[in-house]
DNA sequence: TCCATCAAACTGACCATCCGGTGCAAAAAC
DNA sequence: GTTTTTGCACCGGATGGTCAGTTTGATGGA
């Protein structure tokens, strides 16, 4: 909303969220406990609970932070893609946002499994954003299945990363990304 | 291996695993407790622990059962695809196994998030199988990125299903599946 | 046919631990 | 000195796991 409060030198809330991601990455979503987060960030449980009134709030904050960053990236990339004359700017924006977030904050996606493990209903904001994005993407092209194929492939890359699955060769992974972008560019625009 | 022991009319272990999947599907991986499973299957916690010596063992059994079923399906479909003259039989087998398992036992994939939530290291068998499969798939085609694109898209469909994400229209989902299979068939075989 | 036997399968009570959350006092920051 | 932030002891409940005992059902002998 407003600018970050300059009042506080260190952003405790952000540090706590980072620590939570680290815990999930290392020990799994089921081991994400307030004590573990406090230990990781070098604080006590009281301090954590001061910044986030409950564990549910912490999980929600993890998810919303990820969604916000993703949406910002996706929107910017979509604008750029539209300016560059790409036929499916929203899809391109999403694909590039996936890649950027994956590179800059590889653990951010873990918010999905962390929140989903505690309560599947907590993923509602994620679902809502995905539905919004999907609607816009489908609206921009005449080839719905092609666009959804690109989406599924991008989600698959996220999934593989989440589960430490076999990207094996990073070069291969990059090649797959290039293919996905190529598919996006080859989509025929809405008639 | 040998015939099922006639001693026991009901397969308790299988029932327990089914119940565990139902709990994860309904309440989330974080709510998968021994008591919850016992309640779901109509037993006491002691009974569950009689069949599986620990919760970790139960999670491992969920995962291995899923992997076994998947590998059987994939192997059969691969043989059929090879007989039908498809260029990338292993990839086709995998894609068809994903689809079949998703239709017949939609909750089976939840074993992944259930096991991964408790302990990421428990997913080692999954990673091993994926790596094995990937090696064979890459060995069958000259277009590695294309094959991995199909894999990623298939994983994306699983991911979307796991997270109750927006396949939205089942027809659209089916169309995406058809596209993935088309990509697999269009791959050039290894020179 | 009936009963004694025995092992597998399961129950129910119980334990130790952990976890989320509270209350309050002590610092820190301003 | 006031407000913000953190430390710390503690509680109620849930959870994984143990254990002794009970039920079930097949087997075999008289």
DSSP assignment of B11-49 equals -HHHHHHHHHHHHHHHH-GGG--HHHHHHHHTS-HHHHH
Report chain A residues whose CB lies below 8 A from the CB of B118.
Answer: 28, 30-31
Protein CB footprint (7 Å) on chain C nucleotides: 8-14, 18-24, 30
Long-range CB contact pairs, B40-43, < 8 A, 24+: B41/B15, B41/B16, B43/B12, B43/B16
Residue of B nearest to A158 (CA): B156
Asked whether B128 and A166 are in contact (CB, 8 A), the reply is no
Q: What is the pLDDT along chain A (191 residues), one digit of tens a residue?
A: 333 333 344 687 899 999 999 999 999 899 999 999 999 999 999 999 999 999 999 999 999 999 999 999 999 999 999 999 998 999 999 999 999 998 898 888 999 999 998 888 999 999 999 999 999 999 999 999 999 999 999 999 999 988 888 766 889 999 999 999 999 999 888 77
Beta bridge partners of A141: A189
Residue B141's DSSP bridge partners are B189
- Res A9: pLDDT: 42
In chain A, which residues have their Cβ closer than 8 Å to the Cβ of B176?
Answer: 145, 148-149, 152
Q: Give the pLDDT of residue B169.
A: 83
What secondary structure does DSSP assign to A41-83, as a single string?
A: HTS-HHHHHHHSSSHHHHHHHHHHHHHHHHHHHHHHHHHHHHH
The reply to whether residue A30 touches residue B178, judged by beta carbons under 8 angstroms, is no
Using CA atoms, how far apart are residues A187 and A184, in angstroms rounded to an integer?
6
Average pLDDT, chain B: 90
Write out the two tokens for A19.
């620590």
Task: Indicate yes or no: CB of B152 within 8 angstroms of CB of A27.
Answer: no
- Could you tell me how many residues make up chain B? 191
* Cβ–Cβ gap A30/B119 under 8 Å: yes
pLDDT tens digit sequence for B127-178: 999 999 999 999 999 999 999 999 999 999 999 998 888 766 889 999 999 9
* Residue A35: CB less than 7 A from any atom in strand C: yes
Q: Which residue of A has its CA nearest to B114?
A: A117
**String of DSSP letters for B96-159:** HHHHHHHHH-TTTTHHHHHHHHH-GGGGHHHHHHHHHHHHHHHHHBS-HHHHHHHHHHHHHHHH
Distance CA B122, CA B62 (A): 11
- Boundaries of every domain in chain A: 12-186
Nearest one of B117, B125, B114, B73 to B96, comparing CA atoms:
B73
Nearest to A28 by CA among B74, B172, B117: B117
CA angle A47, A72, A138 (to 5 degrees): 130
Q: Which of A26, A117, A153 sits opposite B153 (nearest CB)?
A: A153
CB contact (8 A) between residue B152 and residue A160: yes
pLDDT of amino acid B6: 36
Q: For A12-186, give the CATH class.
A: mainly alpha
Say if CB B111 and CB B63 are below 8 A apart: yes
What is the least distance, in Å, from the CA of A6 to any CA of chain B? 37
Judged on CB neighbours under 10 Å (0-12, 13-18, 19+), B12 is middle
pTM for the whole structure = 0.89
Q: Which of B30, B117, B128, B148 is nearest to B70 (CA)?
A: B128
- Residue B75 CA to residue B118 CA, distance in Å, equals 29
- Given a cut of 50, whether residue B5 has pLDDT beyond it is no
**Of B29, B180, B73, B112, which is closest to residue A164 (Cα–Cα)?**
B112
Give the rounded percent of residues in chain B with a pLDDT score beyond 90. 79
What are the b/e assignments for B73-111, b being 16+ CB within 10 Å? bbeebbeebbeeebbbbbbbbbbbbbbbbbeebebbbbb
């Amino acid at each position: 909303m407003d600018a970050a409060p300059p009042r506080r030198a260190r952003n405790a809330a952000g540090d706590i969220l980072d620590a939570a991601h680290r815990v999930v990455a290392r020990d799994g979503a089921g081991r994400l406990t307030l004590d573990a987060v406090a230990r990781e960030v070098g604080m006590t449980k009281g301090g954590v609970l001061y910044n986030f009134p409950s564990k549910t709030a912490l999980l929600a904050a993890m998810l919303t932070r990820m969604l916000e960053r993703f949406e910002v990236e996706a929107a910017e990339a979509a604008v750029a893609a539209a300016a560059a004359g790409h036929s499916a700017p929203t899809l391109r924006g999403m694909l590039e946002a996936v890649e950027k977030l994956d590179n800059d904050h590889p653990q951010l996606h873990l918010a999905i499994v962390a929140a989903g493990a505690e309560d599947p209903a907590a993923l509602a904001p994620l679902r809502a954003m995905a539905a919004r994005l999907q609607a816009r993407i489908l609206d921009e092209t005449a080839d719905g299945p092609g666009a959804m194929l690109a989406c599924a492939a991008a989600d698959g890359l996220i999934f593989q990363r989440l589960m430490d699955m076999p990207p094996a060769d990073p070069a291969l992974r990059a090649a797959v990304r290039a293919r996905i972008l190529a598919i996006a560019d080859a989509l025929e625009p809405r008639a």
